[in-house]
């Protein structure tokens, strides 16, 4: 991984007090050389305060506090901006709830050697979801099928949130114009990278449903994603005409 430069794993949190020590410990054991940035959205359960205490004894753990819960996309963009300002070369998205396996991070980073953006994918050969409710799997598969065909992109898991970016990739995606808030943020960045001619690669991952805490998924998030994908797809077809 030395050839990739400085690597930062960005973990957004909102009420993840129980999960945070578990996920950071796994990252540290699997990839001890990477740094971790916790981006906390003023969690009422004290996740931010816990992160500060952990960072006080771990120089590789950083904490970025935001004043309110403003969506996954905004949290990641804040983390990306912080990372770029601090001189990191690679930024990794990872959920706090343990659904993304730190043990598979080496696989994503290895693929980044010949790519600009690597997506951890559940719906490709070798990928899978474990202990996930059937309705959640159906929503994810349907949403990805719709995005793939509506947007004409050869990606099977554009909604996944376990991914690795080169700094140069993020600098080319015009983050100032990204206003997606929920999970459609993931589709937005993947679409920008693909349409921008960047090398986007999918590698299989095992996604495991959270054990502790509650999911942030909601009907509003699903509807936002469907509406925006439809808008992007129609605009793209009009431009091609």
Please write the tens of the pLDDT for every residue from 85-109. 999 999 999 999 999 999 999 999 9
Q: What pLDDT band is residue 46 in, cutting at 50, 70 and 90?
A: very high
Mean pLDDT over the full length of the chain: 91
C-alpha distances in Å from residue 9, one per residue of 88, 102, 209: 10, 10, 20
Q: What pLDDT band is residue 1 in, cutting at 50, 70 and 90?
A: low
Domains and CATH numbers, the chain: 2-240 (3.90.550.10)
More confident position, 234 or 240: 234
Q: What is the mean pLDDT of residues 60-77?
A: 93
Instruction: Inform me whether the pLDDT recorded for 9 exceeds 60.
Output: yes
Q: What pLDDT band is residue 129 in, cutting at 50, 70 and 90?
A: very high
Instruction: Inform me whether the pLDDT recorded for 20 exceeds 90.
Output: yes
Q: What is the reported pLDDT for 214?
A: 66
The structure's pTM equals 0.92
Q: What is the reported pLDDT for 223?
A: 75
Q: What is the mean pLDDT of residues 166-187?
A: 90
Residues 199-235: tens digit of each pLDDT: 999 999 999 987 765 655 566 767 777 778 887 777 7
- Residues 76, 161: contact at Cβ < 8 Å? no
Q: What pLDDT band is residue 241 in, cutting at 50, 70 and 90?
A: low
Q: What is the mean pLDDT of residues 12-17?
A: 96
Query: Which range (77-91, 151-165, 175-189) has the least confidence?
Result: 175-189
Q: In degrees to the nearest 10, what's the CA dihedral of 150, 178, 187, 210?
A: -150
Bridge pairing between strands 163-166 and 90-93: antiparallel
Q: What is the mean pLDDT of residues 183-198?
A: 93
Q: What is the reported pLDDT for 215?
A: 59
């Amino acid at each position: 991984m030395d050839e990739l430069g400085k690597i930062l794993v960005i973990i957004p949190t909102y009420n993840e007090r129980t999960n945070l020590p578990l996920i950071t410990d796994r990252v540290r054991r699997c990839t001890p050389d990477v740094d971790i940035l916790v981006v906390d959205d003023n969690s009422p359960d004290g996740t931010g305060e816990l992160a500060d205490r952990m960072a006080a004894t771990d120089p590789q753990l950083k904490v970025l506090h935001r004043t309110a819960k403003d969506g996954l996309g905004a949290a990641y963009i804040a983390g990306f901006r912080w990372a770029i300002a601090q001189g990191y070369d690679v930024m990794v998205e990872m959920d706090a709830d343990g659904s993304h396996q730190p043990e598979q991070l080496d696989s994503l980073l290895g693929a980044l050697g010949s790519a600009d953006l690597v997506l951890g994918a559940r719906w490709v050969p070798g990928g899978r979801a474990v202990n996930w409710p059937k309705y959640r799997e159906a929503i994810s598969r349907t949403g990805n099928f719709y995005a793939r065909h509506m947007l004409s992109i050869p990606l099977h898991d554009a909604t996944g949130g376990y991914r690795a970016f080169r700094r140069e990739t993020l600098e080319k995606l015009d983050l100032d114009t990204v206003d997606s808030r929920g999970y459609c943020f993931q589709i937005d960045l993947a679409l920008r990278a693909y349409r921008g001619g960047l090398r986007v690669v999918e590698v299989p991952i095992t996604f495991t449903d959270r054990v502790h805490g509650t999911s942030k998924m909601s009907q509003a998030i699903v509807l936002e994603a469907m509406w925006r994908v439809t808008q992007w797809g129609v605009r793209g077809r009009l431009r091609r005409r």
